[in-house]
Amino acid sequence: MTGQLPVKRTGRRELEVIGKSLSNYDLAILESVAKHRFLTTNQICRFHFTNKPTKTAALRSANRTLARLRELRLLVNLERRIGGVRAGSGSFVWTLGITGARILNNDDADGSTSGRYREHEPTTTFLEHHLAVAEVHLELQMIAAGQAVALSNLQLEPTCWRSYLGLGGETRWLKPDLAATTTTDDFEDRWFFEINRGTEPPSRVLRKCQQFRGYRATGIEQRRIGVFPAVVWIVPSSKRVQSLQIYLKEHEVMSDRLFSFITLDQLGDLVVSGPEGKGGIQ
């Protein structure tokens, strides 16, 4: 994370006035941006402005709301825009401002939150990854809105991370990008999602798969929920799917039913049909 953004201090009384002026709708947007770390205007529209009659109306309403939240220094828009200037106002990327962080953390302006929180321009890789995770979240919501499945217990990082002990007794962390539960009439399925942008070498994907297998071997998740979640890798293209499958098969990973490799447009079919064995992996 580089390029710290300019900061203007907000006093105690001003913070109280701002907090009282916010609607539940405003707070929901702040919480959504905080959980995802970064969201584009278009993504915020799809999370929070779905009640508008058209996409144009939703974008206009979102732009007005976001401009007001920016004026209050609750949100900050990055200099970088997804798709460039020609992509329009929907391409703005938003992150939580220091004042927004203090509001959500019930900071009484004693400076505790300001001392911990910094506004930065992120690296391109970091930003694109978090926006891709948000896209998966949106896709899962859209699938659930179609009433084929119900979506619950969705966890973003770091809530979805799991700690366990290594062979030497050291604490280790498994860090999926997303975790969720989906339910149909007959089954409840548990999932871990990994979002791969195609910029990492296959060896790194292999190491992460081995981490999942190591965590499964502890039995922690199975004792907690009865099954081990299916692990879904979402990658940018079918070519990437094939290359990873070939590489991992050579290392005897694809013989394990634990993993699926798909593109984002295949997510709906997988979630509706469920992983092999249904309900997760024993």
Give the pLDDT confidence of 56-96 residue by residue, as tens digits: 999 999 999 999 999 999 999 998 767 554 556 678 999 99
Phi and psi based region of residue 274 (left: phi greater than 0; alpha: psi -120 to 50; beta: remaining): left
Q: Which two tokens stand for residue 237?
A: 């293209």
CATH 3.40.630 is right for the domain spanning 127-273:
no
Q: Dump pLDDT digits (tens) for 16-47.
A: 889 899 999 999 999 999 999 999 999 999 99
Helix, strand or coil for residue 276?
A: coil
Residue 134 has pLDDT above 50, yes or no: yes
CA distance 7 to 243: 45
Return residue ranges of the chain for CATH 1.10.10.10.
2-122
DSSP 60-92: HHHHHHHHHHHHTTSEEEEEEETT-GGG-GGGE
Query: 25 — phi, psi (to 5°)?
Result: -65, -45
Q: Which residues contact 282 (CB under 8 A, 6 or more apart)?
A: 222, 227, 228
**Which segment of 135-144, 191-200, 254-263 scores lowest on mean pLDDT?**
254-263
Task: Give span(s): CATH 3.40.1350, the chain.
Answer: 127-273
* pTM, to two decimals: 0.87
Going by their DSSP bridges, the two strands 230-235 and 259-263 should be labelled as: parallel
Q: What is the pLDDT of residue 88?
A: 64
Q: Which residues are within 8 A (CB) of 242 and not within 5 positions of it... i.e. 6 or more apart? A: none
CATH class entry, domain 2-122: mainly alpha
